[in-house]
Amino acid sequence: MSGPGFGRPLAHDSVLHRRNPTVKLAVLLVVSTVVLAVVDPWTPLALWGIALVAVAWAGRVPWRLLARAQLLFGPFALSILAVNSVTRDGPVVGVLGPFEVTGPGLTIGLSLLVRTLLVGTLSVAFVLTTDGARLMTSLHQHARLGARPTYAVLAGYRMLEQLPERWTTIRLAQAAREPARGDRRGATPASGHRGRSRADGGRRLPASPRALARAAFTLLVVTLRQAERMAVAMETRGLGAGPRTVHAPVALDRRDAAFAAVTVGVCVAVIAAAARLGVLASWGSALA
C-alpha cells in the first residue's frame, strides 16, 4: 500500500477520521504537554505502545506506514539520546570513545527518545486522519479562528498539496525536452540516458544537479505566481470583510467529547500507574 500524498489523509474511513479536527488537535497538544514533565523512560514507553495500537486500530493506519514514521523521527530521537548521555553530570556507567556516559544522562536521554517517538506517532496519526479543509473549517467554527486567517491558511495548505504533482509535471516536461536537445547535439539515445533516473513508463528523468536546480527554480516561480493570483482573488472577493457562511460545517457532538475523555484518561491512568509502581520521575527528582 502506498502512502498518502503530502497534506492528504488516508483515503479510507475510520474512527479517527470521523472525529472533530479541533478536538483531535487539542488532545494532541494536551498529551504532548503532559508528557513534558515526565523524564523516566518507562512511562512514555507505555504510552508509546498504547498509541501505536490505538492508531493502528482507531485510524486504520497500516503498520508498515507507522514503522516508516518511526524511522523518520528515529535519527532526531537518537541524537537527543546521544547528547544527553554524555553531557549530564552523574555517576559514569560507560565510556564511549572520549566521552563518558552518565546514569542520569542515559535515563533522561532514553526518556526524551521515547517521548519524541510518542509525539511523532500522535502527530502522524493526526495528519493521516485529518483533512485540511475540515481542520480549517472546524477551527473557524469551534475555535473562533477569524475568516481571514482561516481562508488564507487553507489556500496555502491547498498549494502545498499540489507541490508533489507540480514537481512531477515539471520533471516530466524536462524529460520530454532532453531527448530533443540531445538529438540536436548529435547525442545517441544511449548517451542521452546517462545521469538520469527512471520514471514511470520507462522514461528517464534528468538527475543532474543542474536539471534539479532548474526544476526547483521553475517550481518556485510557478508557486509564487499562483500565490499572487490567489491573494488578489481573495482580496477582490472581500475576504474577511464581514460575516461568512460555511459550506460544509464540521459537527461537534458527544462522541468527540468521549474521544477526548478516553484519550486523556488513558494518559493520566498510565502516569498514575507509573507513580504507584515507583517508576515515575519528574525533572525535579531526576536533577536532584
pLDDT higher than 50, residue 22: yes
Q: Which whole-number Å values give the CA distances from 17 to 12, 57, 264, in the listed order?
A: 8, 12, 18
The verdict on 97 and 188 lying in the same domain is: no
Same domain, 226 and 90: no
Same domain, 180 and 126: no
What pLDDT is stored for residue 188 in this prediction?
A: 44
Least confident of 32-36, 99-103, 243-247: 243-247
Predicted local distance difference test score (pLDDT) of residue 243: 65
> Has residue 191 been placed in a domain?
yes
Q: 491512568: which residue's cell?
A: 269
Overall pTM > 0.85: no
In a domain, 89, yes or no: yes
Q: Does residue 84 surpass a pLDDT of 80?
A: yes
Total tally of structural domains belonging to the chain: 2
Residue 220 within any structural domain of the chain: yes
Provide mean pLDDT across the span 268-276. Answer: 93
Q: Is residue 277 part of a domain?
A: yes
- Same domain? For 30 and 72 the reply is yes
| Contact call for residues 72 and 120 (beta carbons, < 8 A) | yes
188 and 283 co-located in one domain: no
Asked whether residue 170 falls in the same domain as residue 275, the answer is no
Q: Could you tell me if residue 10 is inside a domain?
A: no
Check whether 186 has a pLDDT greater than 50: no
Same domain, 221 and 266: no
Range(s) of the domain holding residue 30: 15-130+253-287
Say if residues 262 and 26 touch (Cβ distance below 8 Å). Answer: no
109: CB partners within 8 A, 6+ apart: 80, 81, 82, 83, 84, 85
For residues 288 and 275, give the distance between their C-alpha atoms in angstroms, rounded to a whole number. Answer: 18
| Residue 74 shares a structural domain with residue 170 | no
Looking at the fold, whether 223 and 258 belong to one and the same domain comes out as no
Residue 195 per-residue DSSP state:
T
pLDDT at residue number 148: 78
Is 156 in the same domain as 117? Answer: no
Do residues 93 and 102 touch, judged by C-beta distance below 8 A? yes
- The answer to the question of residue 5 being in a domain is no
Q: For cell 516530466, name the residue.
A: 172
Strongest mean pLDDT among 17-26, 186-195, 228-237: 17-26
> Is 52:117 a contact under the CB 8 Å cutoff?
no
Q: Is residue 161 part of a domain?
A: yes
Residue 44 has pLDDT above 90, yes or no: yes
Alpha carbon distance 112, 128 (integer Å): 24
Give the mean pLDDT of the chain: 82
Mean pLDDT highest for which of 24-38, 89-103, 207-221? 24-38
Residues 220, 263 within the same domain: no
CB of 121 closer than 8 Å to CB of 53:
no
Over residues 105-121, mean pLDDT: 92
- Say if residue 125 is in the same domain as residue 49: yes
Q: What pLDDT score was predicted for residue 4? A: 54
Residue 68: inside a domain:
yes
